C-alpha cells in the first residue's frame, strides 16, 4: 500500500499546474482598455449634465386657474406664474398681498412717539414693561404713555398690496422669506409661505386686448361679488367716495372705498331708514337693488349725499397677517 502511494508522481503534477500559462492570462486582462472606458464614462456624464442640469431652486408653477397653496423651503422659494390657460392676460386683475410680522424690543421715554412705516398698512400691539397693551391699526406713529423710562415690546404686522398691472415680465425679489396671498378674479387665489421670488410672465399686447374685449361683452358684476373691472376702469364709470370730505352726487353708480374695515360706515335713506354699509351690501346681494335711490352715506364726520342712485358698490381692502421670526 505504501508503495502504491509513493508511485503517484509529484513532479508531473507540478508540471501540469505550471503548464497553465500565466502570462497569456495577464495579457488577456490587460487587453481590456482602461483609458477608453474612462473616456466613455466621462463623455456620457457630460451629455447627461447638459440634457438635465440639476437646479437648487426649481420654481413652483401656478397657472391661476384654481385655489392653491405653496410652502417654500431652502431649495424652493420661487413662484413662477404660467399663462398657459390665459388666466394672467389681464394682470391688473391680480394683486399680491405680502405680510410681515416683526417683534422688537424698544427703549422708550415717557411721552415718546414711535414712527411707523406709512407706505404699508400696519397693525399690532405695543406691550409696556408693566404689561399694559396698546393695540393699533393703520397709524403713522405710536405714543408711549407718560411713565418712567421703560423697555417696550412691539409686535408689528405689516401688509403690502402690489398690483401686477405694472409687473409684466418682471421678477420680484423679496428681501426676506415672506408669507401672503396672490388674489385674482373669480375667487381664485394662491396662499404661500416662505417665498423669496415671483416670476411674472410676459403678456403680449394681443392677449391683453383680447381679454379687454371679453370683459366689455360680459355682464356687470354683482354688488357683493368679485369685481371683474379694475378700479381705474370703475373710476371712469362711477362716483368714488372714500370718506375724506363731504360730497354730493347724482351718478347712478357709487363706489365706496372703505379701506380695511366697514366699521363706522352707515347709510341713511330719505324715508328715515338707516342701516350699516355691511347690511346694505347684504341687502343688495339678495334683492339686486337699493331700498331707496336718495340718501346719505356717513363715515365719522364726513358724508356723501346721493340722488337717483341705482347701485352702491363697496370696495374693501383685504387684510392678511403672516407669521415671521423675531
Query: Which of 315, 303, 273 is CA-nearest to residue 290?
Result: 273
Model pLDDT, residue 315:
83
pLDDT at 214 over 60: no
The answer to whether 86 and 101 are in contact (CB under 8 A) is no
CA angle 208, 192, 153 (to 5 degrees): 125
Distance between CA atoms of residues 149 and 153, nearest Å: 13
Query: Which of 183, 179, 161 is CA-nearest to residue 94?
Result: 183
For 173-182, what is each residue's pLDDT tens digit? Answer: 888 888 999 9
Model pLDDT, residue 314:
86
Model pLDDT, residue 37:
46
Q: At a CB cut-off of 8 Å and minimum separation 6, what does 154 contact?
A: 102, 103, 104, 105, 106, 114, 124, 125, 126, 127, 142
pLDDT at 217 over 60: no
Q: What is the pTM of this model?
A: 0.44
Mean local confidence (pLDDT), 302-324? 78
Model pLDDT, residue 230:
44
| Partners of 114 in the β-ladder | 142
Q: At a CB cut-off of 8 Å and minimum separation 6, what does 247 contact?
A: 239, 241, 303, 304, 305
| Secondary structure of 3-51 in HEC code, one letter for each residue | HHHHCCCHHHHHHHHHCCCHHHHHHHHHCCCHHHHHHHHHHHHHHHHHH
Set of cell numbers at residue 223: 354688488
For 13-48, what is each residue's pLDDT tens digit? Answer: 444 544 445 555 444 444 445 554 444 444 443 443
Amino acid at each position: 500500500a505504501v508503495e502504491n502511494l509513493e508511485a503517484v508522481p509529484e513532479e508531473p503534477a507540478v508540471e501540469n499546474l505550471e503548464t497553465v500559462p500565466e502570462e497569456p492570462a495577464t495579457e488577456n486582462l490587460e487587453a481590456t482598455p482602461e483609458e477608453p472606458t474612462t473616456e466613455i464614462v466621462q463623455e456620457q456624464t457630460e451629455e447627461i449634465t447638459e440634457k438635465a442640469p440639476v437646479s437648487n431652486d426649481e420654481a413652483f408653477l401656478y397657472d391661476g386657474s384654481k385655489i392653491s397653496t405653496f410652502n417654500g423651503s431652502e431649495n424652493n422659494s420661487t413662484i413662477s406664474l404660467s399663462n398657459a390657460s390665459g388666466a394672467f392676460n389681464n394682470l391688473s386683475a391680480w394683486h399680491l398681498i405680502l405680510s410681515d410680522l416683526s417683534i422688537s424690543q424698544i427703549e422708550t421715554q415717557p411721552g415718546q412717539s414711535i414712527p411707523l412705516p406709512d407706505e404699508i398698512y400696519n397693525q399690532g400691539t405695543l406691550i409696556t414693561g408693566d404689561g399694559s397693551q396698546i393695540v393699533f391699526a393703520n397709524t403713522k406713529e405710536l405714543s408711549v404713555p407718560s411713565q418712567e423710562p421703560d423697555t417696550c415690546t412691539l409686535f408689528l404686522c405689516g401688509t403690502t398690496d402690489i398690483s401686477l398691472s405694472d409687473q409684466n415680465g418682471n421678477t420680484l425679489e423679496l428681501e426676506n422669506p415672506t408669507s401672503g396671498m396672490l388674489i385674482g378674479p373669480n375667487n381664485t387665489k394662491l396662499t404661500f409661505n416662505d417665498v423669496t421670488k415671483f416670476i411674472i410672465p410676459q403678456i403680449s399686447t394681443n392677449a391683453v386686448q383680447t381679454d379687454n374685449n371679453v370683459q366689455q361683452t360680459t355682464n356687470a358684476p354683482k354688488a357683493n361679488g368679485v369685481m371683474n373691472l379694475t378700479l381705474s376702469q370703475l373710476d371712469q364709470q362711477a362716483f368714488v367716495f372714500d370718506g375724506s370730505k363731504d360730497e354730493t352726487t347724482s351718478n347712478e353708480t357709487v363706489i365706496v372705498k372703505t379701506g380695511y374695515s366697514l366699521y363706522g360706515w352707515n347709510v341713511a335713506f330719505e324715508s328715515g331708514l338707516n342701516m350699516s354699509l355691511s347690511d346694505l351690501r347684504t341687502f343688495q346681494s339678495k334683492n339686486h337693488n337699493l331700498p331707496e335711490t336718495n340718501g346719505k352715506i356717513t363715515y365719522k364726520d364726513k358724508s356723501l349725499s346721493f340722488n337717483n342712485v341705482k347701485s352702491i358698490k363697496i370696495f374693501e381692502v383685504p387684510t392678511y397677517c403672516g407669521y415671521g421670526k423675531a
